Amino acid sequence: MKVVAKTANEAMAEAMRQINPDVVAAYPITPSTEIVQIFSRFVADGEVDTEFVPVESEHSAASACTGAAAAGARVMTATSSQGLALMNEVLFVTPALRLPIVICAINRTLSAPINIHCDHSDTMDQRDSGWMQFYVEDSQEAYDSVIQAVRITEEAFLPAIVSADAFILSHSLQRIEMLEDEEVQDFIGEHKTPYSVLDVDNPITVGPLDLQDYYFEHKRGEAEAMRKTPPIIKKVDREFGERFGREYGLIEEYRIKDANKAIVVMGSTAGTAKEVVDTLRQDGEKVGVVKVKAFRPWPREDINKSLEGLEYVAVMDRAEGMNGFGSPLFTEVRSSLYEIDKRPDIYGYVYGLGGRDVKPRDLKKVFDDLKKVESGKKIERVNYLGVRE
């Protein structure tokens, strides 16, 4: 083990180096460019055996990655925002072909207006594409999650996006504990592939046309693969924990056991929320945080178990759902809770769009709102935090 200071970009690039994928096809975009740059240097210096494909667009990055994975290679890439959006069409193909690929994504908002800063609109745009999605809180988790994702994707035969907040994580130095190269190799093991188009002696046809008679069956199979991912993720996470001492779960509960109010949140804001909870706890408030790490698969059971019995919950979305109601995390948490008996009163908060800073006092205001509700006041079901009126 080595203790170093790394940004999330650097940490993910280091994880990629240690994973030593067969193929990386990537295209630059702020703020994930650095991952591609650092990795290119690893290639140039012979620190990896990777075939690096400097494609002419993210559409081609995702296409080349998908082709390479179908050829039995271990494949990774990195992107952000518009890049992820340009990949959209391909991103629906990869999981349907059941190919394990890992994308290191840096969460940056989508145009327009063009803006290079943090929010989750880019990955939220891909939430129904069939990729697993893991949101991380810090550089350490970014590093660990990328390594775990290799194992998870190759057991589930589904691809995964590991995403870290733009600049807040991608460009700020944090202390991380790095594993030894051999430990990483030993943990991820030999690459597993569901099939390979390079097997010319056993030719297969990948990506055929379905008519009305088979499309539904194929999609049902793909959906089942996603349904089966929670135990795989937990198993890999547990093994990682046993070996290296860090475990994350599908969600993380923070001071939730005796709480009556909680914030549900993803990404780096979870750290801020924990601080706020610590402060409020000193004043005797019974507050907690649920950090959602895996947004896909949707951790319905874990969410319900942790929120059951709570009285007031605020769900924080760093993305606008544009449905005239609530954003994705809010609507999904709310819909999960429908099936439990003791449902909390639940409110949605849209925050931090386009990199708008979220300070502890902002999150304190959210708890204050919940307190107002507790005292009988009415507030809006969905609220905007930190926007000028």
Residues engaged in binding another protein (CB under 8 A): 22-23, 25, 49-51, 53-57, 59-60, 63-73, 75, 89-90, 93, 96-99, 157, 194-195, 197-200, 202-211, 213-214, 216-218, 220-221, 224
CB of 223 to another protein, least distance (A): 9
Question: Least separation, in Å, of the C-beta of 125 and another protein?
Answer: 18
Strand partners, 216: none
For the bound state, the minimum distance from the C-beta of residue 256 to another protein, rounded and expressed in Å, comes to 38
Q: Can you tell me the distance from the alpha carbon of 11 to that of 187, in angstroms, rounded to the nearest whole number? A: 17
> Nearer to another protein by C-beta: 227 or 257?
227
Q: Cβ distance 100 to 236 under 8 Å?
A: no
Q: Please state the closest distance from residue 203 (CB atom) to another protein, in A.
A: 4
> What minimum distance in Å lies between the beta carbon of 87 and another protein?
11
Closest to another protein by CB, 75 or 316: 75
Please answer whether residues 24 and 54 qualify as being in contact, where contact means their C-beta atoms are separated by less than 8 angstroms: no
User: What are the two backbone dihedrals, phi and then psi, of residue 314, each rounded to the nearest 5 degrees?
Assistant: -115, 130
- Residue 5 or 198 with smaller CB distance to another protein: 198
Residues pairing with 337 in the sheet: none
Task: Select 113 or 208, whichever has its Cβ closest to another protein.
Answer: 208
Nearer to another protein, 76 or 337 (CB): 76
CA atoms within a 13 Å half-sphere pointing along the CA-CB vector of 29? 32
User: Could you please report the per-residue DSSP string of 299-315?
Assistant: -HHHHHHHHTT-SEEEE
Strands 251-254 and 287-292: antiparallel
Rg of the chain on CA atoms, in Å: 21
